[in-house]
């Protein structure tokens, strides 16, 4: 793999991580706007809103870190190995933020089974979770590919 190929792969990985953070921001914002008006258990509403705020916060931190990384790369203050470490941390930040969504979705599903008025909240959260988890998987796959390319470069 040439240096140009690795640079293209780095840019593609940055784009995948940015896309994930964008989707997380978008879905968290949508949930924060929708959940206060959707009929649902008040305790679950508070939990879901807190989760959404955490997702929005995590996406903001990742976007900030991405901007910083791109500045450092542009000024040659960071190399590919440093970029990979940063991107891996960003993946982990988003994964940690999304970890609680399964528990909240389960709680909402149980509430919807008890009372159909809770169903809309469950659908909103599960749809948002699907989009965010798919984009996280793409970001993680891109980061892993970049890592494998770096290991190959070291061996050759």
pLDDT value, residue 119: 94
Whether 70 has a pLDDT exceeding 50, the answer reads: yes
Q: SS3 for 27?
A: helix
Whether 81 has a pLDDT exceeding 70, the answer reads: yes
The mean per-residue pLDDT over the stretch 111-116 comes to 92
d(CA 41, CA 117): 9
The model's pTM: 0.89
Which pLDDT band holds residue 1 (cuts at 50, 70, 90)? low
d(CA 100, CA 125): 12
Residues 6 or more apart from 74 whose CB is under 8 A from it? none
Phi, psi (5° rounding) for residue 91? -55, -45
Q: Which of 55, 46, 60, 52 is nearest to 18 (CA)?
A: 60
Whether 82 has a pLDDT exceeding 80, the answer reads: yes
pLDDT value, residue 152: 59
Mean pLDDT, all residues of the chain: 92
Per-residue pLDDT of 131-145, as tens digits, reads 999 999 999 999 999
Per-residue pLDDT of 10-56, as tens digits, reads 999 999 999 999 999 999 999 999 999 999 989 999 999 999 999 99
Which pLDDT band holds residue 154 (cuts at 50, 70, 90)? very low
């Amino acid at each position: 793999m040439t240096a140009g190929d690795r640079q293209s792969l780095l840019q593609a990985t940055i784009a995948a991580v940015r896309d994930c953070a964008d989707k997380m921001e978008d879905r968290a914002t949508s949930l924060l706007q929708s959940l206060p008006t959707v009929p649902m258990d008040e305790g679950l509403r508070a939990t879901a809103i807190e989760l959404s705020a955490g997702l929005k916060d995590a996406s903001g931190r990742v976007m900030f870190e991405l901007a910083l990384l791109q500045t450092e790369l542009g000024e040659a203050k960071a190399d590919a190995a440093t970029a990979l470490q940063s991107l891996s941390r960003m993946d982990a930040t988003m994964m940690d933020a999304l970890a609680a969504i399964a528990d909240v979705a389960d709680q909402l599903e149980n509430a919807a089974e008890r009372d159909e008025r809770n169903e809309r909240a469950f659908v909103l959260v599960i749809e948002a979770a699907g989009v965010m988890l798919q984009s996280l998987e793409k970001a993680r796959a891109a980061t892993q590919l970049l890592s494998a390319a770096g290991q190959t470069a070291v061996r050759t």
